[in-house]
């Protein structure tokens, strides 16, 4: 008897067959009642049990991990996993179905080895991957010694990746291009596996996608590729001085590799034209200077500039700027064009001149003649920039003109109300308004409006005028004299002139040459037009004139009378002015006393080198005129301190160049201090001014003198009798003599008890001196140390004689304290 048994584990079937011989089994009973096998059957059963037990411990070999597809970059390291459980046979790796070996070190393949941490791990390790490593790999296990079947893993694809070489641009790193001419730029990348991807970037680093074509080529090794990319460009100014970039990359290296190319684009000038000056609010005022600038961008630089005005070349050495020195209205709407050229080509730009100018009439209005009921059109043809504003006004007498229209053309239906003078006013902002006028006349018969009586001078050319209103113009005008038509051909003494005047007037003038008495009389003017005629009698009368000699006498008489009147006015005016000057009588106050300024003590009176006569006299003379104020105005004149001198210029002595100098005696004499002039001997005091000494008891013992004088006073100098009496005489009026007597002084006409020394003739030692000169030369504030006392000259002829003072008077004749004779100070 045979029995077959099969065991399955992990889907691996093992069939175990045991043949059991069909022998008989004999049993025997031993002591105790047990049965035992007999003969050889027991041996066989024992062997069967051993076989069953041995078969139960057997397992099939299998893959716990199989290799997978992988990619590796050249030069990198890659591991293909392979793990086997219950390995019974030999394990090896195959590449493209070619066994690599069963030993772990895989002798013969230096970069290959099987690695693993235990006896079940047989992963394939590949170092420094190269392109040769690219292929299909498989892990295989052979059958075991106990009949275990061989096993194989799935194929694993190992893809080796190669980064491309840096790209290269066939045209190089620099290229010249011309605007408008297409250009192909080619970039190639070699050795990439997989094939490289090429990308183009412009100068702004933007990706260029248009006009790009790529091409792949397999290299000789059959694994790597060459990639070509062609970029077609249409160069423009925008590409000038820009750099384009070619990028190449694949999965082996995502960092892009680049090549660049720089563009230099040659292009025609890009012209820009603009106004530099002369433009105001977009317009050029007429008469201004306009400067137009022409700028450009080009490569290469421009070679020439040309200017045109309305396509007419402008003569002149103009480059990038043109000047129109005087812009006129003829330049309005003119096109100014600037043309620039270089080696690439020529381009231009233009601008239109917008000229602002005042309005002007192209055609002035003309009078219009029309029948009643007809329609006429008035046209106001005005040129101006900007466009003029137009107004039509009807000029009606006594009324403000009414606006009848605002368009250039005005239609009028003619009647008596619409006929008249029309005014067209045109204005442009910024300029004066202009106007033109026309009159609409109604056609009709003529009308004579000249004077019916006219005058002419006999013997001269006489003109007789006939003024008529005639619309339309007269066909003819005839003149008649005493019923007979005048013919200028038959009578050469006549001439007829005809003149057209404004407002439809016509004047016919009949000229009579060398008129005689027979030419004066009744004339008749006859005017005729297509609508009728008019006649007017005109009386010509002779002109009655005075004889010529009567006219001449009258004119001459008028001139003489007028001249006499003018001369009389001048003479009266001079006399009145001279009399007013003579009537001015100043008030004079003369006083001596103790009053003096403190600065007098500091004045060195001894500089005069002459002692003043001592006197106890005190004078207070008040000469008051009836026509002057009674208020006394004494003005002190001290001998020291700053003193304003009076301006005495109203005396009778006038020193000028017409004065003839007489012979003078030298009354000057020298002193230790210098030269002193004796004025009383050189000049006589005025005869009409007498001053007498006071009584002896009233005399001052101090020798000081204070004088007050009106700055407007005038004391003339004269000596009627030629004597040197040295007397002061103001006036002969009684009231003034009484004023002197009130002072206790004897009058000049009375015989006094004694004659003062200053009243005696020729008192040389006691000659009086004017206190103004004493104050001036004795005052250190008024004295000029650089000029000597006796060297000052105040006459019209300095070389001939020294100047006299305004007057001379004795101030003090009292005897000196030591009993000596009275001394006078001369200045």
**Is-above-0.75 flag for pTM?**
no
Low-confidence winner among 160-169, 214-223, 348-357, 715-724 (lowest mean pLDDT): 715-724
Contact 595, 620 (CB under 8 A): no
Residue 706 and residue 687 share a domain? yes
The tokens describing 365, both together, are 């209005």
The answer, yes or no, to whether residue 567 has pLDDT greater than 90, is yes
Judge whether 718 lies within some domain: yes
Average pLDDT over residues 81-100: 92
Residues in the chain: 827
The answer, yes or no, to whether residue 725 has pLDDT greater than 80, is no
Nearest residue to 194 via CA among 223, 173, 168: 223
Judge whether 122 lies within some domain: yes
Residue 422 and residue 392 share a domain? yes
Judge whether 518 lies within some domain: yes
Nearest residue to 340 via CA among 372, 408, 392, 293: 293
Residue 803 and residue 680 share a domain? yes
pLDDT for residue 107:
87
Residue 183 and residue 117 share a domain? no
Q: Which of 205, 231, 264 is the C-terminal boundary of a domain?
A: 264
Judge whether 548 lies within some domain: no
Judge whether 180 lies within some domain: yes
pLDDT for residue 254:
86
Residue 788 and residue 661 share a domain? yes
Please state the three-class secondary structure of 35-50 as a single string. EEEECCHHHHHHHHHH
pLDDT for residue 673:
55
Residue 278 and residue 319 share a domain? yes
The answer, yes or no, to whether residue 181 has pLDDT greater than 60, is yes
448-462 CB burial, b ≥16 within 10 A, e <16:
beeeeebebeeeeeb
CA distance 85 to 108: 27
| 3-state secondary structure (DSSP) of residue 468 | strand
Residue 679 and residue 822 share a domain? yes
**pLDDT tens, 658-699?**
545 555 455 555 555 555 555 555 445 555 444 444 444 434
Q: Which of 354, 378, 403 is the C-terminal boundary of a domain?
A: 354
Residue 7 and residue 118 share a domain? no
Contact 357, 329 (CB under 8 A): yes
Q: How far from 282 is each of 274, 275, 279, 356, 468, CA to CA, in Å?
A: 11, 10, 6, 9, 55
Residue 452 and residue 429 share a domain? no
The tokens describing 622, both together, are 């008040």
Angle, CA 703 vertex, CA 700 and CA 706 arms, to 5° = 85
Name the domain count of the chain: 7
pLDDT for residue 675:
54
CA distance 202 to 261: 10
Nearest residue to 525 via CA among 604, 463, 592: 463
**pLDDT tens, 103-144?**
999 988 999 999 988 888 999 999 999 999 999 999 999 998
Judge whether 661 lies within some domain: yes
The answer, yes or no, to whether residue 483 has pLDDT greater than 70, is yes
CA distance 174 to 168: 13
The residue range of the domain holding 527 is: 447-542
Average pLDDT over residues 220-235: 93
Residue 795 and residue 695 share a domain? yes
pLDDT for residue 269:
93
Of residues 794 and 324, the one with the higher pLDDT is: 324
CATH number at residue 274: 2.60.40.10
CA distance 364 to 437: 8
The answer, yes or no, to whether residue 719 has pLDDT greater than 60, is no
The tokens describing 337, both together, are 């064009």
Contact 474, 446 (CB under 8 A): yes
The tokens describing 351, both together, are 């601008």
The answer, yes or no, to whether residue 506 has pLDDT greater than 90, is yes
**pLDDT tens, 395-452?**
877 666 788 899 999 999 999 989 999 999 999 999 999 999 999 999 999 999 999 9
Q: Which of 442, 477, 512 is the C-terminal boundary of a domain?
A: 442
pLDDT for residue 120:
87
Judge whether 310 lies within some domain: yes
Judge whether 568 lies within some domain: no
pLDDT for residue 410:
94
Highest mean pLDDT among 36-40, 149-153, 315-319: 149-153
Residue 626 and residue 597 share a domain? yes
Of the pLDDT bands very low, low, confident and very high (cuts 50, 70, 90), residue 576 is: confident
Residue 802 and residue 761 share a domain? yes
Average pLDDT over residues 261-281: 93
The answer, yes or no, to whether residue 627 has pLDDT greater than 60, is no
Of the pLDDT bands very low, low, confident and very high (cuts 50, 70, 90), residue 502 is: confident
Average pLDDT over residues 620-636: 41
pLDDT for residue 669:
54
pLDDT for residue 732:
43
pLDDT averaged over every residue in the chain: 74
The answer, yes or no, to whether residue 224 has pLDDT greater than 50, is yes
């Amino acid at each position: 008897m045979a029995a077959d048994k099969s065991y399955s584990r992990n889907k691996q079937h093992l069939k175990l067959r045991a043949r059991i011989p069909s022998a008989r089994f004999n049993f025997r009973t031993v002591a105790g009642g047990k049965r035992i096998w007999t003969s050889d059957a027991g041996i066989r059963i024992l062997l069967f049990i051993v076989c069953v037990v041995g078969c139960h411990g057997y397992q099939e070999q299998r893959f716990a991990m199989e290799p997978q597809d992988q990619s590796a970059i050249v030069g990198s390291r890659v591991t293909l996993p392979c793990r086997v459980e219950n390995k019974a046979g030999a394990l090896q790796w195959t590449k493209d179905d070619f066994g690599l070996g069963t030993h772990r070190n895989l002798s013969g393949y230096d970069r290959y080895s099987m690695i693993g941490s235990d006896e079940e791990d047989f992963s394939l390790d590949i170092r420094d991957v190269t392109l040769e490593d690219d292929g299909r790999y498989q892990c295989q296990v052979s059958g075991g010694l106990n009949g275990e079947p061989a096993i194989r893993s799935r194929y694993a694809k190992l893809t080796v990746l190669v980064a491309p070489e840096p790209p290269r641009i066939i045209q190089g790193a620099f290229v010249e291009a011309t605007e408008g001419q297409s250009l192909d730029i080619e970039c190639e990348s070699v050795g990439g596996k997989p094939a490289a991807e090429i990308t183009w970037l412009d100068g702004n680093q933007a990706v260029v996608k248009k006009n790009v074509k790529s091409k792949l080529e397999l290299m000789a090794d059959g694994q790597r590729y060459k990639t070509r990319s062609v970029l077609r460009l249409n160069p423009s100014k925008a590409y000038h001085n820009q750099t384009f970039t070619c990028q190449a990359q694949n999965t082996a290296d995502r960092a892009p590799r680049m090549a660049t190319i720089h563009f230099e684009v040659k292009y025609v000038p890009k012209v820009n034209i603009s106004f530099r000056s002369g433009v105001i609010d977009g317009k050029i005022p007429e008469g201004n200077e306009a400067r137009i600038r022409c700028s450009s961008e080009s490569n290469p630089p421009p070679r020439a500039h040309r200017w045109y005005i309305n396509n007419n070349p402008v003569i002149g050495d103009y480059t990038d700027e043109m000047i129109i020195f005087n812009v006129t209205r003829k330049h309005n709407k003119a096109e100014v064009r600037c043309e620039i050229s270089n080696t690439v080509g020529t381009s231009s730009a233009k601008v239109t001149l917008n000229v602002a100018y005042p309005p002007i009439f192209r055609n002035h209005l003309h009078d219009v003649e029309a029948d009643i009921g007809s329609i006429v059109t008035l046209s106001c043809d005005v040129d101006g920039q900007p466009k003029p504003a137009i107004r039509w006004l009807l000029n009606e007498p006594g009324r403000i003109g009414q606006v009848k229209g605002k368009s250039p053309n005005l239609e009028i239906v003619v009647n008596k109300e619409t006929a008249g003078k029309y005014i067209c006013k045109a204005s442009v902002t910024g300029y004066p308004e202009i106007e033109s006028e026309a009159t609409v006349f109604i056609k009709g018969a003529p009308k004579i409006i000249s004077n019916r009586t006219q005058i002419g001078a006999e013997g001269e050319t006489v003109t007789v005028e006939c003024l008529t209103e005639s619309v339309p113009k007269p066909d003819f005008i005839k003149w008649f004299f005493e019923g007979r038509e005048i013919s200028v051909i038959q009578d050469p003494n006549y001439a007829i002139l005809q003149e057209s005047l404004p407002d439809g007037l016509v004047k016919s003038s009949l000229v009579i040459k060398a008129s005689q008495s027979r030419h004066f009389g009744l004339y008749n003017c006859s005017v005729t037009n297509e609508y009728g005629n008019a006649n007017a009698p005109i009386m010509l009368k002779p002109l009655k004139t005075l004889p010529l000699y009567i006219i001449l006498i009258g004119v001459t008489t008028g001139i003489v009378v007028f001249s006499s009147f003018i001369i009389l006015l001048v003479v009266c005016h001079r006399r009145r002015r001279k009399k007013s000057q003579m009537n001015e009588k100043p008030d004079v106050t003369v006083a001596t006393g103790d009053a003096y300024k403190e600065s007098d003590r500091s004045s060195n009176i001894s500089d005069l080198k002459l002692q003043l006569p001592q006197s106890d006299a005190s004078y207070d003379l008040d000469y008051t005129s009836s026509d002057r104020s009674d208020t006394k105005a004494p003005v002190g004149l001290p001998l020291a301190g700053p003193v304003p001198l009076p301006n005495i210029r109203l005396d009778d002595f006038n020193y000028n160049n017409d004065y003839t100098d007489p012979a003078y005696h030298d009354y000057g004499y020298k002193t230790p201090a210098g030269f002193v002039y004796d004025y009383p001997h050189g000049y006589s005091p005025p005869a009409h001014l007498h001053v007498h000494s006071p009584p002896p008891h009233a005399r001052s013992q101090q020798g000081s003198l204070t004088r007050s004088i009106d700055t407007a006073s005038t004391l003339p100098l004269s000596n009627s009798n030629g004597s040197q009496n040295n007397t002061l005489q103001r006036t002969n009026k009684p009231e003034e003599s009484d004023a002197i007597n009130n002072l206790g002084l004897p009058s000049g006409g009375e015989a006094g008890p004694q004659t003062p020394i200053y009243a005696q003739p020729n008192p040389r030692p006691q000659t009086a001196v004017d206190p103004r000169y004493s104050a001036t030369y004795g005052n250190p504030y008024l004295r000029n140390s650089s000029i000597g006392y006796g060297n000052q000259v105040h006459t019209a002829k300095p070389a001939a004689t020294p100047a006299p003072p305004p007057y001379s008077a004795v101030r003090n004749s009292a005897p000196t304290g030591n009993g000596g004779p009275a001394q006078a100070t001369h200045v």
